[in-house]
Structure formats: C-alpha cells, structure tokens
Amino acid sequence: MRYARTRAGDMFLSSTAVVMAEAVKLATCLILVYVEEGNFRKFLRTLNLTIIKQPLDTLKVCVPSLVYIIQNNLLYISASHLDAATYQVTYQMKILTTAFFAVLILRKTLLAIQWSALMLLLTGVILVQLDQSKPSSVPSGTEQNHLIGVSAALSACFLSGFAGIYFEKILKGSDISVWMRNVQLSLLSLPFGLFTCFLYDGTIIFKQGFFFGYDWVVYYLVVLQAGGGLVVAMVVKHADNILKGFATSLAIVISCIASIYLFAFHLSLQFATGATLVICSIFMYSHQPRTNDVSDKHLLINKV
C-alpha cells in the first residue's frame, strides 16, 4: 500500500480501491458460502432466507459497513503519509481500542496482565512516534505530513475497535456463518463506498474514469486487501493465539526490513525498542485463553 501511494506516475483514487476490495471480498465470500451449502439450490435458498427474508437483521450490519468504509479510506491516507514500518506499529493500537469497546459495550473484564499489555502497547507506540524524522520526499511528489498520517491511523484504530465489537455483538446469539455475515457487510458496504467515491472524487472519476491510475500493482493491492482478511480468518479458525501473535510480530519485522531496502527507512534504537514493546504486548494480551475471543473476533471482522 505504501509503495502504491508513493511511487511516481498517475495516482489511483484510494476511494475506488476500497470499493473494488469490497467487490472482490463479496465475490469470494459468495463462493465460500456456495461451498458450505454444497449445491446451487441450497445456496440460493440460504441467501434468500438470510438476506431478503430478514431485512431487519441485514440492516443491523449497516453501522459496521459504513464504519469499515471510512476506516479503509483512512488507512490509505495513513499509508500515504507514514512509512510502512511506522504505520504497521501504530495500527496495533486497534488492540487498545478493541479492549476499550469490549469493556464498554460487552462488559468484558480484562485481567491484570492484559491491562499491563495495553500500557506496554501504548508506551511502544509513543516511542515509535517520538522517533519521527523530518519529512522526506517521495517519488510521487506528495507532501508527507506525519501528523495527518498518525491522526488517520489512530482514527482508523478507533473505528476498527468500535466496528469489531459491534459486529461481535451482532454475531452472538446468531447461527449465521461468518462468511454469510461478510456477504451482508459487503452488500451494504458497496453502496456506501460508491457514495464516498462520487462525493469526494466524482469530478476526477467523470473526467478520467473509475479506474484512472490502475495497473497490475493496484489490482494486486485490491486483491491483497480483500484476500488478506480471508487468510486471517482461516488462521483464527484453524490456529491459536500463539501462532497469531507470531504472525503479527513477523508482519511488523518484515515491514521494517522491507522499508529499509525499499524506502531507505532508518531503523533507530528508539524505534526498535518501541516496536519490541508492541510485539511483547501482543503476546501478553493474547496469553490468557479466557479473553482470546475479543482480539480474535476483532481481527477476523476487521480484516475480513
């Protein structure tokens, strides 16, 4: 995402990329629902019973649908102004916002080790942000604004936490599968996304076209954004919190290494210390199996 938003050449519209990712996700989830049902007749019957004949239940998903569209647009803004490593570390603040809304909405009780993990997470992110360097030029010529990038990332974390917990509350007491819920999400997200496209980028879309600036990198990014969430869902379903913690930590490490070679990112001792604290907090927070469902379901819903 960082590469696509900073390289030279015609810049694609992030709002259209968000819509395309939702379209790819919808198609993929429909295929997964079809596989679950086994044949086309059962597939159509399930869609009819779940979506058409339960309009109120489907409308409940409107809130997270709108929130996720806003969140995904904010993530593109953040990636446009923050290097990949800083973005990756800062976005782990969604663990803190998820815990906050879990306590507020679901009345969850956090253990002492989890409160300690959240404080460690906050400390690590603060260290990373204090290590910010002077704005550097990028091939696209876009002016880098660290404050805008951080504000967008933190706002996305806040929305992510709220939407994840809200969606978890909807899922409780329902026998609808996660894939079907995501079909509902995408069906409602697409109109919101298209409205956002034409509201903010309508002039450019009418002049240059919906797919202005698209090439194989952007198409790959769209598939990555949609398919990556499905991979996370499979990890949550078939693995455990230890493996998930390793995966998240490895993602941070890979982002740092890739940023060094691709974007000349300077890895300082302060940044490394902050990133290490964030990684440790991830393992600490997910250590107790009693509260794993909060972070697991959030990551599942957020990504998918």
The tokens for 40 are 């086309």
Classify residue 106 by burial, with Cβ atoms within 10 Å: 0-12, 13-18, 19+: middle
Check pLDDT > 70 for residue 22: yes
* Residue 165 belongs to a domain: yes
The tokens for 208 are 């240059």
pTM of structure: 0.82
Place of tokens 């604290």: 277
Confidence band for 291, pLDDT divided at 50, 70 and 90: very low
Write out pLDDT tens, residues 136-161: 666 766 777 888 999 999 999 999 88
Q: How confident is the model at residue 119, as a pLDDT?
A: 92
The CA–CA distances, whole Å, from 56 to 42, 48, 51, 81, 302 equal 22, 14, 9, 40, 23
Confidence band for 239, pLDDT divided at 50, 70 and 90: low
Helices (H), 82-174: 84-90, 94-105, 112-130, 146-171
| 42-46, 198-202, 266-270: range with lowest mean pLDDT | 266-270
Check pLDDT > 80 for residue 123: yes
Confidence band for 303, pLDDT divided at 50, 70 and 90: very low
Write out pLDDT tens, residues 170-224: 766 567 777 888 888 888 899 999 999 999 899 999 999 999 999 999 999 999 9
Check pLDDT > 80 for residue 251: yes
* Residue 272 belongs to a domain: yes
| 41-55, 71-85, 183-197: range with lowest mean pLDDT | 41-55
Confidence band for 240, pLDDT divided at 50, 70 and 90: low
Q: How confident is the model at residue 16, as a pLDDT?
A: 95
Q: How confident is the model at residue 297, as a pLDDT?
A: 47
Q: Which residues contact 126 (CB under 8 A, 6 or more apart)?
A: 274
Check residues 22 and 60 and name the one with the higher pLDDT. 22
Q: How confident is the model at residue 294, as a pLDDT?
A: 45
Percent of the chain with pLDDT over 70: 85
* Residue 124 belongs to a domain: yes
Mean pLDDT across the chain: 83
The tally of domains found in the chain comes to 1
Q: What is the mean pLDDT of residues 104-114?
A: 85
* Residue 224 belongs to a domain: yes
Check residue 177 and report its DSSP letter.
-
Check pLDDT > 70 for residue 236: no
- Name the CA dihedral angle for 202, 208, 210, 212, rounded to a multiple of 10 degrees: -130
Half-sphere exposure of 3 (CA within 13 A, CB side): 13
- Name the CA dihedral angle for 253, 278, 25, 298, rounded to a multiple of 10 degrees: 150
Check pLDDT > 50 for residue 302: no
The answer to whether residues 288 and 111 touch, using CB atoms and an 8 Å cutoff, is yes
Q: Letter for the amino acid at 286?
A: S
| 83-87, 162-166, 172-176: range with lowest mean pLDDT | 172-176
Domain extent for 106: 2-299
